[in-house]
A and B are shown apart, each in its own frame.
Chain A
């Protein structure tokens, strides 16, 4: 193993949004910072959104499931015991390369689930603790939206004006208006005007396969260029195999495998892991030693447990009007929190955020609105083909959109990330294995929300609706696997992401969530990370560090 790196003050593992935020803040405060990223840069010229092959390429090369993409940078994931496939992207920017940039905050009740609803646990922080960091994250990411949404306590408006909600948003809003249900123009981390070096959105609608225009707020654009210019060292194609500890039990660096397959040690005074809700517990579990036989930072036994992935369902509606429903952003058009808060009379607790999204091009439209060969006995497997192929396309293409439902799933220690006994990545490191089952509460929640979303479509004038009850490829939101808390026996890190066991080891990603909320989590992940890193900087004089490695 090579020992040829000089030590740094802070070593960050993972160049996704929180690694980028932490690196930027720490460097600005004068720390020496290196980030190790297992993937590489993704240049926007390789995104296919503007080309004819976009939809076919999206189904493999730009698919959010790493098992489908099969790139060397992505580690494989054993999903044989999971209802849902985790989705992610290994590279500079992390999953923001492929996310839809739905930039929504959690609600005050999300942080008090035990107190308000008698289930799960309260967070050790409140919405009010995060509000200033939400506002700062909005500015850093360049969020477009409209202020005064009554979903939230009064807060600063997004820095950029809202993106157009388009014909699909107007149609959906008309239904919600008739029903008297909440809706609001959606906030997106997509620039509606040129902003801090980024271009304005041109409604390409291919956000989830990479933005060819560079208008989407992905961390490779929002943070890394400036951070590198300021002096952060970002090492790509560097897959971390282990976080190491010194004789005092403090983190003192990491062992990684470089692009040539060479194992190298990088010393550091402090280590931040920002590798997502699957990658972070995987790394901590891989960091086993005689002293930490169950993995690092795992005296609670909770590393990898309480995995939450937000089961996702949708109702697609077909309309008589031409809605140009391939048009972006995608991105979200409008959102609703009408059924977000708990109502015990529904037979379940918690709720879900809804969003309207476009239906995509002809292939995406086809996957949402029929055309599948039926395999049940009695069905003609060629139904949906022949003349039906054209008739269906004529009836639905451009005339349909989805109300998507992000269901809050509650923490369950049985849902977890473990190390696979059989599967390894391209560097021979154990792959993560996901054990995850949908709960009865989630099943009831989705059933209720699907029924309401059908009503929303019908009120807007839909002539048909199609349910997608639970998508298997929906695990965008990887949460809860190193939960935060004040008690070291029932949590892995504190509210600043600091490990209870290893006080100079931090986790800055969705792993630290106590509950999942019913929202897209990146805004909250960013706000929690901003709060944590600013606390680390403010308390730098009291921060215990590994001796002998300080630069």
Chain B
């Protein structure tokens, strides 16, 4: 057996039908609410899912299985619940893909208050904690010194 987790890179694009099914899944998992946009409104199924699958081709099979389970269902939420119950690992992978896709969009990030891993100028904040640190120093050393017995120093 050869080690590693090499992934077969086959055709990657989702079909139009699959994207429609993905929207149905997104309506259950990430609807609009709490001041946050719905996943279907921030191009998850038309743009970001492709980026997510580029980064995580290893999860494609799980997404395909999920979409197959939900496709054409009258009640997508029930179908998705059944899938999540039967295939918890696959459902977890779908969760990573859709949440990862969702938070790549600027509208989602702005609504959450996340600027991304932005640059910040370094500041010296020692003065903000110096008083507390004085109390640490006042309590004195907390280490056990090297004992005299044992191997020579």
Binding site for B on A (CB under 8 A): 49-50, 52-57, 59-61, 67-72, 74-77, 107-109, 111-112, 114-116, 122-129, 146, 148, 150-153, 161-166, 169-170, 173-174, 176-177, 180, 182-185, 192, 200-206, 322, 326-328, 337-338, 340-341, 361-363, 366, 371-373, 375, 380-382, 385-387, 389-391, 393-394, 397-398, 422-426, 431, 486
* Residues A361 and B103 in contact in the complex (CB < 8 Å), given A127-B146, A204-B119, A398-B114: yes
Interface residues of B in 117-153 (CB under 8 A from A): 117-126, 128-129, 132-133, 135-137, 139-147, 149-151, 153
Q: Is B66 an interface residue (CB 8 A)?
A: no
Q: Which residue of A lies closest to B128 (CB)?
A: A170
Roughly how many angstroms separate A57 CA and B120 CA in the complex, as a whole number?
22
Q: A361 touching B141 by the CB < 8 A rule?
A: no
Q: Chain A: interface secondary structure?
A: loop
Contact B144 A425 (CB under 8 A): no
Interface centre among B30, B55, B117, B125 (most CB of A within 10 A): B117
Q: Cβ of B3 and Cβ of A425 under 8 Å apart? A: yes
Which chain B residue shows the least CB distance to A55? B100
B114 touches A150 (CB 8 A): no
Contact A115/B149 with A341-B142, A366-B99, A385-B30 known, Cβ cut-off 8 Å: yes
Supposing A126-B151, A431-B3 touch, asked if A152 and B114 sit within 8 A by C-beta, the answer is no
Identify the closest chain A residue to B3 (Cβ): A76
Partner of B95, one of A67, A326, A371: A371
Q: A90 to nearest B CB, angstroms?
A: 12
Would A203 and B100 be within 8 Å (CB), given that A122-B151, A362-B112, A397-B112 are in contact?
no
The verdict on B6 contacting chain A, using a C-beta distance below 8 Å, is yes
Chain B residues lying within 8 Å of A122, measured Cβ to Cβ, are: 150-151
Given contact pairs A108-B146, A362-B99, A382 touches B81 in the complex (Cβ within 8 A): yes
Q: List 15 A-B contacts (CB under 8 A).
A: A53-B55, A59-B56, A76-B3, A115-B149, A161-B124, A164-B123, A177-B132, A202-B120, A202-B121, A328-B117, A363-B96, A381-B84, A390-B33, A393-B112, A394-B34
Q: Which of chain B's residues has its CB closest to A192's CB?
A: B122
Whether B9 is near chain A, meaning CB under 8 Å from some CB there, is no
Residues on B with C-beta less than 8 A from A70 are 4-7
Given A182-B139, A424-B2, residue A382 in contact with residue B77 (CB < 8 A): yes
